[in-house]
Amino acid sequence: MAILEIKHVSKFFGGLAANADVSFTMTQGMIMGLIGPNGAGKTTLFNCITGYYPPSKGEVLFKGKLMNGLEPDMVCKLGMARTWQKVRPLAKMSVQDNVMVGALCRTGSLKKARELAMEQIMVVKLEHKADFPAGRLTIGERKKLEVARVLATRPELLLLDEVMGGLNPSESEEIIQLILDIKKQGITQMVIEHDMKAIMRISDRIVVLNSGEKLTEGSPQEVVNNPEVVKAYLGDFHA
């Protein structure tokens, strides 16, 4: 069953098209990889899906419901949550308080939220830092916090924006395992990632964006063997 349908979504800034007529569908429980060279419009698409920008054209349907024009907070309450490429810890609040803010999306009780938060903190293995101010975490810990916090909102669809960016190989491996564990819980995920090896391992399907348009879509194998994808990436590297 389709959990997310993107239908002909375009986003213009002034005359510039950051996304042009992008369409694809995600089914329940899958991991969709979203790749493309820098400036391909990946994060813009995330923003369009999660309510940060209204799409200029096209429709975003989540569980069959039209999401255009909904504010990000409503999008989150409906079960679609995202992380940020540039992590956004609530710096002065502790790790636990950060995750509690996420958990409070589903409960009004602080006690309940604290328990839910602790569960997610254990999932990402940050329990030894639970009382630490989030602003003093390392980049790897911040990325994990970002995931724990967003998981605490109990999403059905999770959009991860470069959660491995800037991490060392062992930290990346931890995140990969985390993403696969989240999949086992039945949560659908869309993942933006630059590390091709990682994205090949975790994705069920991959959408490639280039200059705002969908270049191709397919299984990881199909995508790496597509000459156009290679060209787009080489073009990017030589630019």
Binding site for another protein (CB under 8 A): 12-14, 50, 52, 54, 56, 71-74, 76-77, 81-82, 84, 88-94, 97, 100-102, 104-105, 108, 110, 113, 131-133, 149-150, 153
Residue 6: CB minimum distance to another protein, A: 19
- CB closer to another protein, 154 vs 205: 154
Task: Tell me the C-alpha distance between 193 and 3, whole Å.
Answer: 21
> Which two tokens mark 122?
């254990």
Residue type, 104: L
- CB closer to another protein, 30 vs 90: 90
Residue 104: CB minimum distance to another protein, A: 5
- CB closer to another protein, 19 vs 153: 153
Residue 182: CB minimum distance to another protein, A: 17
Residue 80: CB minimum distance to another protein, A: 10
Task: Tell me the C-alpha distance between 145 and 139, whole Å.
Answer: 10
Q: How many CA atoms lie within 13 A of 92 on its CB side?
A: 0
Cα dihedral: 231, 235, 238, 239 (round 10): 180
Task: Tell me the C-alpha distance between 13 and 17, whole Å.
Answer: 6
Task: Tell me the C-alpha distance between 66 and 143, whole Å.
Answer: 30
- CB closer to another protein, 76 vs 190: 76
